[in-house]
Amino acid sequence: MSSDRKSEETTGKGTTTRRKTKRTRELIAENEKQRESLIKLHDDLQRDLEEQQAERKKLGEHETIGMVVRHKKFGRGTVSKEDGKYIEVTFDKLTKTFVLPGAIADGFLVPEDESLIEYYKRSAAIHDRIQKTELHLRSNGFATERINEQLEKLEGRA
């Protein structure tokens, strides 16, 4: 929408046409510049997210059911169930739930096959980057909505 656009105001005697003030035009230009910047950032973040998801896919998945692990307090256990990001580990007399990949990457559980530790550390790092990027995308979306609302108000000003 052009910043030189005229707005109409209805009064009791008829319709008058007024130009936007210099300050309003400056605010509109500033907000449009911010919106363009936010749109570019959104595109960059979306591209980063797609790359991170491709990296996660390339890393692949590891079968956890049946994996033997050690825990400092509970001792030796076997992964008996996996439900999305959670696993259940059955120890001698109890079953505990842990979050993957963090439980292994952070050292709470140590797989009997220690070569898997590096896999889970890489998986956790990718997972963390994806979460941060998704959060940044949501924040960017809220900021874009606020700018759009401000622009609508400014465009409506006389």
20: which residues sit within 8 A by CB, 6+ positions away? 3, 4, 5, 6, 7, 28, 157, 158
Confidence (pLDDT) at 6: 45
pLDDT for 94-112, tens place per residue? 999 999 999 999 999 999 9
Q: How far apart are CA 69 and CA 91, in angstroms?
A: 9
First to last CA, the chain: 14
With cut-offs at 50, 70 and 90, classify the pLDDT of residue 21: confident
Q: What are the tokens at 19? A: 């130009």
**Single pTM value for the model:** 0.75
